[in-house]
Amino acid sequence: MPENKPPVSVLGLGMMGTALAAAFLKAGYPVTVWNRSSAKTGPLVAQGALPAKTAAEAVADSPLVVFCLLTNDNVEELFATLPEAVAGKTLVNLTNGTPAQARDLAAWAAKHGAHYIDGGIMAVPQMIAGPHAYVLYSGDEQAYETHRPTLAALGGTKWTGTDPGLAALQDLALLTGMYGMLMGVLQAFALVRTENIPATEFSELLVPWIGAMLAGAPELGKAIDSGQHLTDVSSLAVSQAAFPNLLNTFRDQGVSTEFFEPFQAILDRAIEQGYEADGLSRLADLLKK
């Protein structure tokens, strides 16, 4: 006897929404799909999904309704068309957005009798349902526990708390780490390319170096959590003295300094404020407004 799995609706069938709906289908869930432009339902219908004519019809079809639109402004607009349809439903919003937007959407859902869960997808579409994909969730914990087995079809599930903004906050913090790392990688490639060193060749030096530096992140975290920033490894005074070498070399080689000037500025501020003996962990404190 096949197991009876609860239905799930997916609204928003861009690259990510299509991957989410396909993962639910593959795991054996009955799936209803809706997209603003209906042509995108075609491939999923061919895999067994039910197409809904309207967003309200898609919401009506399942107790669990997953949204994956481009922005949370789009979600807010769509929600505004669904006030009656959502009562009693669990709305899982996997659209990238801010903590404040997540809290506003949760308040809207509560006002209309719906359970709201916000989510941050830590994967690209091709990774969905694979071993390295996971999704951060926050909001209505009881609804999350009820639907967790279904959500697990997308990848790992990581609960971050009942404040609906927490998943977005940690999603954006992880993206911050990624973009910061990419800033350095792209700048390094731009620099070596000025002397015709291929980026692919330089990767052989760069990747292990960044990996080794990243392995120090927990130590940095320990200093930030404890407020003990004094270091015997590499002081802010040493970093501040060396940093002009980076900026001057970028200028000499004809590479923009726009990614790195802000780093020099915060190093200078740290020294002005008397933190020369501290390690780089001190900068996390100085970033707080």
Residues in touch with ligand FVH (CB under 6 A): 12-17, 35-37, 40, 68-70, 74, 77-78, 95-96, 121, 124-125
Residue 208 CB, shortest distance to ligand FVH, in Å, is: 27
Smallest separation (angstroms) from ligand FVH to the CB of 49: 14
- Closest approach, Cβ 90 to ligand FVH, in A, equals 19
Q: Of the two residues 154 and 283, which places its CB atom closer to ligand FVH in the complex?
A: 154
Name the residue whose CB lies closest to ligand FVH.
14
Is 67 or 250 the residue whose CB approaches ligand FVH more closely? 67
Nearer to ligand FVH, 38 or 256 (CB): 38
Least separation in angstroms between CB 5 and ligand FVH: 24
- Provide the H-helix boundaries in the chain: 15-26, 42-46, 55-61, 72-80, 99-111, 141-151, 166-193, 199-214, 217-226, 236-253, 261-272, 282-287
* CB within 8 Å of 220: residues ≥ 6 apart: 279, 280, 281, 284
- Closest approach of ligand FVH to the CB of residue 67, in Å: 9
Burial group, residue 180, by CB count within 10 angstroms (0-12, 13-18, 19+): exposed
Q: Please, which residue, 118 or 278, has the CB nearer to ligand FVH? A: 118
Cβ atoms of 11 and 34 within 8 Å: the answer is: yes
Angle value at C-alpha 288, between 282 and 289, nearest 5 degrees: 140
